[in-house]
Structure 1
Amino acid sequence: MDLRLTSGNDHPLRHDGDYVLYWMIAQRRLSYNYALDHAIDRAVEFGKPLLIFEPLRVRYRWASDRMHRFIIEGMRDNAETAQNVGVAYYPYVEPTPGAGSPLLHRLAERACTVVTDEYPCFFLPTMIEAVKDRIAARLELVDSNGVLPLRSAEKTYTVAHSYRRYMQKNILGALEQMPNATPLPCPALPSPAPIDSKAIRPRDGFLGSNLVAEKILHRWPAADFGDLLERNGIANIPIDHDVVPSPVCPGGGVEAARRWKDFLNSKLPRYGTERNHPDEHATTGLSPHLHFGHISPHEMVGSLLEHEGWTPEKTSRPNGKNHDFWNVSEPAEGFLDQVLTWREIGFNWAFKNPDTYDQLESLPDWARKSLADTADDERPHVYTLDEFENAQTHDELWNAAQTEIVRTGMMHNYMRMLWGKKILHWTRSAQEALDIMIHLNNKYGLDGRDPNSYCGILWVLGRTDRAWGPKRPVFGSVRYMTSDSARKKLKLNQYLRRFDSAST
């Protein structure tokens, strides 16, 4: 835990506080969560109840019905779990911009300490920076982002091979320090009755006194999931209502667990050979749930290794290769590489480079030079942001990929690479291509605004890749992809029929 825990301010711990507050902002789950484990330990240490506070604010870029509903569906699952294990859980959905701003400060006034999630991306670091010295209590940040702690790496890893070798050298030790699969109920934890979110009425023991609880809950009512989810109360929140909820991807830990079980039981054997084919549906579909913390990479890695009958003795010497390290089945080996190498190298980038992880200057020298050398090359087509957003290009495959993310909030992994490469091909500059990719991915993608997705977008422009030959117009030495090649390699007839942009 030492590498995963850091203090956000210098305020003292207060043994005379009324409770320990867990401010849940990134790892939105009640299992496999180091921050929750630490908050429980603090509550036991102080002999005080634990209060889990999960808020959802209005003012974040690209806020929409799609993002809000996905998060709120996760809150509903957390509320049910919290009720079952007897812990106080306070979900709050801000109705108007700024309405919830003082709430954290009010809750922190009576807290022994405030524990929260450390997350190296999007607006969360800025939000923590803004409140850390202004709240009355100690603020403790806990890293539950990846199987390897963010602080374990001493440098930024620029290519997958070097990060993979580093991971292989350190992963066995990390697997010995997994978060608690079932931290609640905890017999040693003083547990008041949970908040009654329907009647908006506190019960004995919550927030120190009924009077304080009544005042807080009167001004900031706990989320009413019936209103928000069943009676479309989200429509009353001032966010983008044109980006509608996903029809195929509900949020929350219950759905995440269902998808993961389905993958282990039926899709894993096909993953190695069929994951790149859009028609085969051989992936987990869990990147949105990973992004919003509804499922943990620790749980996925641990249960997959158990499913494969793996033991540490089966592991080979670190070699940086994407196979034959774990000595499990080929599909399992491939999936572990996606989670432990390609996902976590994105977190390494964002954590080590907080000011540039989403910028062109984060590209390797060879890529920046190559893109500069081809900056004046004639483009075969040039499209505007509106044309891209509305899938109005000449390319049927590209239009299908864009239509998929607009309609569903998801995009097939291989198609996302092609999607990005063609945006580079059809814009006036690498900077314009980067801006368009970030905007479209973050506006529509449930897994956008994430270190992994930013790293994937920058991969299109050369990050974590190598120079390729021969040099080509526009791309130079940056890896080139074509729709014609994808048609020859991939099974996508059903995909194209399903996401025909002309039928939008």
Structure 2
Amino acid sequence: MPADSEPTNFESSTPKLRIRAANDKPINHDGDFVLYWMIAYRRTEWNFALERAAAWAAELGKPLVVLEALRCDYKWASDRLHAFVIQGMADNQQSLAKKSRAASYYPYLERQPGNGSGLLEALSDQACLVVTDDFPCFFLPRMVRVAARKVSTTMEVIDSNGLLPMRAADKVYLRAYDLRRFLQKALPDHLSELPSPDPLADYKIPTLEKLPAKITKQWPVAEVEAIADDLSKLEAFPIDHQVGVVESLPGGAVAAQKRLRDFLKHKLDRYGEERNEPQKEVSSGFSPYLHFGHLSVHQVFAELVEQLKWTPNKLAKKANGSRSGWWGMEETYESFLDELVTWRELGFNMCSRQEDYTHYESLPDWAKETLGEHASDDREFTYTLEEFEQANTHDELWNAAQNQLVREGYIHNYLRMLWGKKILEWTESPQDALAVMIELNNKYALDGRNPNSYSGIFWVLGRYDRAWGPERPIFGKIRYMSSDNTARKVKVKQYIEKYQ
């Protein structure tokens, strides 16, 4: 079905712009339950998709089943990514086991490639309809398109990604300034459209006595809590065991809520002035939790404005695209919201509307032209993918950033930009640089494989940027960064000592 297909004719609290019909199959009113296929918003709170599924279950007088599955053959599958997701599944199982929760949770972990094939179709045969998540990146859009053809009943996909519904934008925005100006015009109409903090508490839903035995026999309910408690059990899965678990960064909604509390209480007031200082560690650290859906941007926004006692009447009347002044807050808070809203939504805008967002050819014409003109320039240093991966370069600051990525699953935001710029400088071609950045980021970063990670990678090559002077070897008119200049701008000595 096209992206603007109309949803099934049923009114609920979920905004219509966030509901999309994935196929034109009818509802099975004789089904045993409503099925929510949780694939991106892996949380039980602040979730438009779960809210929509609960509303359907109440409307039809049917129980609600939440299927959360994890395949083992996705690209870059590893102990690190599996552990983060499974820890979230354990949190969801505990949340939905509470007596106040009117939903049956079905966690499934694929043990061998292909073992999970047929599970969704089998469940859909007994379901009234299927509700799932509308995430525009990685393999998920393709998976949903295939599933929509295979399931036997209605399938809806729900957008719970950002403050602005993805379908509210009128085009692909190629600069942050332009999207910011559009947001300043369009976003006020959507700021009051927040998902329920606890959608299952809002509806009266019958309880399912048990999951279908003939299905759970073939696809057993996973013991996610046992695996989350003992991550050595991941050895049984055919995934990359060399990319290890980040023990200091556990996955799941519980860890996400702790991270949110800590940031709002201890770091938010320092964010504007100190976020670019690696040794201060005042960045939010939300990105892995936002990526895997363990945390909702709607909750972050709601609790931020509640803490600041902010109301929409403080918004500036004129949309001028400025990064400060529009929210009517102190600069440090506006700086955080510009990252959380403008830059985050910029990536979702691109991925939801341009299928080639991962391809070099999707760069702006001026960037491709200047990079092409300098593709044959001499490189003082060049490194292979393996040398980059092992942090085996001549630059101690770059090596430290790469070591942080390998050890901790992320790079400090400011140094991530330098990390990418040096890869561009030290590879044989900009196409090679893109391939190295994608491979290392998606393999090791907990927030990789995300619209925002592609925004950052392609920004290195000119996306969302402008031509800069003077023209330089290799970079041409692409913005240049150096380790020496970075070290002069921010304090990196302790950072290098920690990660060398």
Q: What TM-score does the superposition give when structure 2 sets the normalisation length?
A: 0.95
Matched position secondary structure for 2:128: strand
Q: Which residue of structure 2 lines up, in the alignment, with residue 341 of structure 1? A: 342
Letter in 2 for 1:391: A
In structure 2, the residue matched to 1:224 is 223
* TM-superposed deviation, 1:187: 4.6
Contact 2:367 2:478 in 1 (8 A): yes
Partner in structure 2 of residue 399 of structure 1: 399
**Mapped partners of 2:244, 2:154: distance in 1:** 39
Query: What is the alpha-carbon distance in structure 2 between the residues aligned to residue 122 and residue 255 of structure 1?
Result: 24
Cα distance per residue 1:217-268 (max 9 Å; x no partner): 2221212134423332211000000000112211001111101110110101
Quote the offset at 1:13 in angstroms: 1.0
Deviation at 1:33, TM superposition (A): 0.9
**Corresponding residue SS for 1:44:** helix
Q: Do structure 1's residue 471 and structure 2's residue 487 form an aligned pair? A: no
Query: Pick from 55, 60, 77: which aligns with 1:46?
Result: 60
Query: How many Å apart are 1:52 and its aligned residue?
Result: 0.5
Superposition pairs of residues 101-500 of structure 1, within 5 angstroms: 101-192=117-208, 204=209, 206-207=210-211, 213-231=212-230, 232-316=232-316, 317-354=318-355, 356-500=356-500
Say whether 1:28 aligns with 2:27.
no
Structure 1 residue 10, shift from structure 2 partner: 1.0
**Corresponding residue number in structure 2 for 1:195:** none
**How many positions carry a matched residue from both structures?**
482
Q: Distance in 1 between matches of 2:225 and 2:297?
A: 30
Q: Which stretch of structure 1 is more off in the superposition, 9-18 or 154-163?
A: 9-18
- CA deviations on 1:98-120 (whole Å, 9 max, x unpaired) are 11111111110110000000111
Cα offsets for 1:156-193 (capped at 9, x unmatched): 0000000001111111111111111111234522233x
C-alpha separation in 2, matches of 1:364 and 1:226: 46
**Kept in 2: contact 1:32–1:180 (CA 8 A):** yes
1:495 is displaced (CA, Å) by: 1.3
Matched with 1:18 is: 32
Contact 1:19 1:112 in 2 (8 A): yes
Amino acid at match of 2:321: G
Supply the distance in 1 between the matched residues of 2:226 and 2:311 (Cα, whole angstroms): 48
Q: Which amino acid aligns with 1:340?
A: V
Give the conservation status (yes or no) of the 8 Å contact 2:90–2:228. Answer: no
Q: Does 1:63 align with 2:92?
A: no
1:154 is paired with a residue whose SS is: coil
In the other structure, the counterpart of 1:80 is 94
Instruction: Tell me, in whole angstroms, the C-alpha distance in 2 between the residues paired with 1:407 and 1:361.
Output: 32
Q: Is the 8 A contact 1:13 1:137 kept in 2?
A: yes
Alpha-carbon RMSD: 1.0
Tell me if the contact between 1:91 and 1:223 (Cα under 8 Å) persists in the aligned partners: yes
Kindly provide the CA deviation profile for residues 345-386 of structure 1, in whole angstroms up to 9, marking residues without a partner as x: 0010111102x1011111111111110111111112100000
Q: Can you list the C-alpha shifts for 1:285-328, whole angstroms capped at 9, x where unaligned? A: 11100000000111111111111111111111211011011111
3-state SS of paired residue (1:439) = helix
Q: 1:131, 1:262 → 2: CA distance? A: 39
Shift of 1:491: 1.8
Equivalent AA in structure 1 for residue 362 of structure 2: S
* 8 Å CA contact retained: 2:25, 2:152: yes
> How far apart, in 1, do the equivalents of 2:302 and 2:353 lie?
26
**Equivalent pair of 1:280/1:491 in contact (CA under 8 Å):** no
* SS state at 1:175 partner: coil
Q: Distance in 2 between matches of 1:458 and 1:187?
A: 43
The 2-side partners of 1:25 and 1:469 are apart by 44
Q: In structure 1, the residue corresponding to 2:200 is in which secondary structure? A: coil
400-409 vs 484-493, which moves further: 484-493
Indicate the residue corresponding to 2:4 in structure 1: none
Q: Which amino acid aligns with 2:117?
A: S
Unaligned 5+ runs, structure 1? 193-203, 208-212
Q: What residue identity is the alignment partner of 2:144?
A: I
Aligned to 1:90: 106
Q: Secondary structure at the match of 1:332?
A: helix
C-alpha distance in 1, partners of 2:229/2:334?
41
Counterpart contact for 1:308–1:329, Cα < 8 Å:
no
CA distance, structure 2, for counterparts of residue 268 and residue 110 of structure 1: 47
**What's the CA shift string for 1:196-237, capped at 9, x where partnerless?**
xxxxxxxx2x34xxxxx2222222121213442333221100
- 2: CA distance, partners of 1:128 / 1:312: 36
Aligned counterpart, 2:9: none
What letter corresponds to residue 126 of structure 2 in structure 1?
Answer: R
How much identity, in percent, do the aligned residues show? 50
Q: How far off its partner does 1:493 sit?
A: 2.0
**Structure 1 contact 11–138 (Cα < 8 Å) conserved:** yes
Tell me which amino acid in the other structure corresponds to 1:324: G
Measure the CA separation in 1 of the matches of 2:228 and 2:292: 18
Distance apart, 1:278 and its partner CA: 0.5
Find the aligned partners of 1:102 and 1:335 in 2 and give their Cα distance. 43
- The 3 A distance-change label for structure 1 pair 226 and 40 is closer
Q: Which amino acid in structure 2 is aligned with residue 72 of structure 1?
A: I
Contact 2:35 2:66 in 1 (8 A): yes
* Preserved CA contact (<8 Å) 1:57 1:93: yes
SS in structure 2 of the partner of residue 101 of structure 1: coil
Aligned-partner SS, 1:12: coil
SS in 2 for 1:278: coil
